[in-house]
Structure 1
C-alpha cells in the first residue's frame, strides 16, 4: 500500500470538514478524530514503508491539516491555534517553511514520499507561500516534473486545477466558496486518487 493511500481517510475527513464546518462544532471531538485518523494512518504506513519515510509523510500531512483548520471558520479555531497538532507531534509552530525544506531533501527517486507532499500541495497547502501564489505554482510544477509522466501530463483543465486558478494561472482564494461547489469539491480527493491509481502511484 502506498503511503498516500494510508492517509486517504485523513484527507477525506478534512475535506468534509472544510465543506461543512458546522458539522464539527465540538472542538474536542474533532481534534480527537484527527489524532485517531493520523495514528491509524501512521500505523498502516509503518507496515509497508521505512520509519523515516513514514515520519516525513506524517509531518507533511500534519502541517497540511493544521493549515486547513486555521483557514476554516469554526469558533474554536483560536483554540486550535493555541495547540497546533504540529506542536503536539513535532514541537513546531511554523511548519510551513519546514514542509518545503523536507520536500527539498527528499531523494528524487523516492516517488512514494514525494507524492504525499505533492498531494498536500494539490489539496491546498500554501505554507511559506501564503502571499506568493506564483511561486507556489512554480513549486507545484517543479514537483510534478520529478514524478512519472502521468503526473506531468495531468491536464490543467482538470477540476482540481481549473477550479483553483484564475485567468492568470494564479491560485484563487476559495475557502468560503467551498459550500457553493459542494459536490465538485467532495469529488476532489476521489479524482486525484483515481489519477494516482492510473499512474500506478496509488498501489504498492
Structure 2
C-alpha cells in the first residue's frame, strides 16, 4: 500500500500482521490503526481503493482475534470497531485529494462492516452509553477518546466545535479518574458505576462554599490594596497642583 503525498513513508507494519509483543488493551492493539488515521489526517492518503479496504478488513480480523484472546469484552470490541470505522470514513471523505474519495462515499467502511451510514450520530450515542457504564467500558472509552483527538467530528461538524471540544476534554478527565480508581471497581463497589456519581461522593458539600469564601477574601484584599495605591497616586498629583502661597517676609516694630 502506497501513499500519494509521502510514498517513502512506511506503511504501519502491524496493520496486516501482528507485532512481536502481545498488548492486552484495545488501545494498544489498535495503535497501528491510529497511526494510519494520523497519516490520512495529514493528507497522506492511500492510492488504491481495493487494497486499502482489504487491509482495513484484515486489521479488524486481527484485532478481534487478539482482543478475544486477551479476554476483552465483545461489547468493547464492537464499540471500538464502530468508532474506528466512523473516523476513517470521515477522514477519507474530508480528503479532497484522495483518488478514490467518490468510491468510498458510495461504500463507506461503516456500511461495509455495520450496514448503516449513521456514524455521525451513532458515534456519540454509543459514546454516551459507554460513559454511563463507567469503568466497565473503559477500554472502549479510550478508543473513542483517541478518535476524537484524531479529529472525528460527526454531527458536531455542523453543530459547532466548542461543544465537541468540551466533550473531548470532559471525556479525558473521566478516563483519568476511572483509570486512577480502576482497582476500586469490585463486587461490593457502590452502584451505579458512573463517573458523575463517584465525583459527587468524593467532594464534600462544604467544599464549594469554602473555595468561594477564600476567593472572595483574596479578591477583596487585592481590591483594597489597589484602591489605596490609586488614591495615594492621585493625592500626589494634587499636591503638585494645589500649593499654599509662599509666605512673604515681614518685620514687626513695637514703639515704646
- Please give the TM-score of this superposition, normalised by the length of structure 2: 0.55
State the alpha-carbon separation in 2 of the partners of residues 99 and 14 from structure 1.
17
- Where 2:117 maps in the other structure, the secondary structure is coil
CA RMSD, aligned part only?
Answer: 2.1
The corresponding residue for 2:249 is none
The corresponding residue for 2:173 is 145
- Where 1:57 maps in the other structure, the secondary structure is helix
- Count of aligned pairs between the two proteins: 151
Of 80, 88, 101, the match for 1:57: 80
Bigger Rg over Cα = 2
The corresponding residue for 1:35 is 57
State the alpha-carbon separation in 2 of the partners of residues 135 and 21 from structure 1.
28
Alignment of 1:29-108 (within 5 A): 29-48=51-70, 49-72=72-95, 73-106=97-130, 107-108=133-134
Runs of 4+ in 1 over 3 A off after TM superposition: 17-22, 149-152
Of 142, 155, 169, the match for 1:128: 155
Structure 1 unmatched ranges of 5 or more = 153-204
**Contact 1:66 1:84 survives alignment (8 Å):** yes
Answer 1 or 2: higher relative contact order, Cα 8 Å, separation at least 6: 1
CA change 1:18–1:139 in 2 (3 A) is closer
Per the TM alignment, residue 135 of structure 1 is displaced from its structure 2 partner at its CA by: 0.9
Per the TM alignment, residue 112 of structure 1 is displaced from its structure 2 partner at its CA by: 1.6
Per the TM alignment, residue 116 of structure 1 is displaced from its structure 2 partner at its CA by: 0.8
- Where 1:146 maps in the other structure, the secondary structure is helix
**Contact 1:111 1:147 survives alignment (8 Å):** yes
Per the TM alignment, residue 118 of structure 1 is displaced from its structure 2 partner at its CA by: 0.6
Alignment of 1:174-185 (within 5 A): none
Per the TM alignment, residue 35 of structure 1 is displaced from its structure 2 partner at its CA by: 1.7
Per the TM alignment, residue 150 of structure 1 is displaced from its structure 2 partner at its CA by: 10
Of 32, 42, 48, the match for 1:9: 32
The corresponding residue for 1:200 is none
CA change 1:144–1:19 in 2 (3 A) is closer
**Contact 2:127 2:141 survives alignment (8 Å):** yes
Structure 2 unmatched ranges of 5 or more = 1-23, 181-256
Per the TM alignment, residue 14 of structure 1 is displaced from its structure 2 partner at its CA by: 2.7
The corresponding residue for 2:186 is none
State the alpha-carbon separation in 2 of the partners of residues 108 and 35 from structure 1.
29
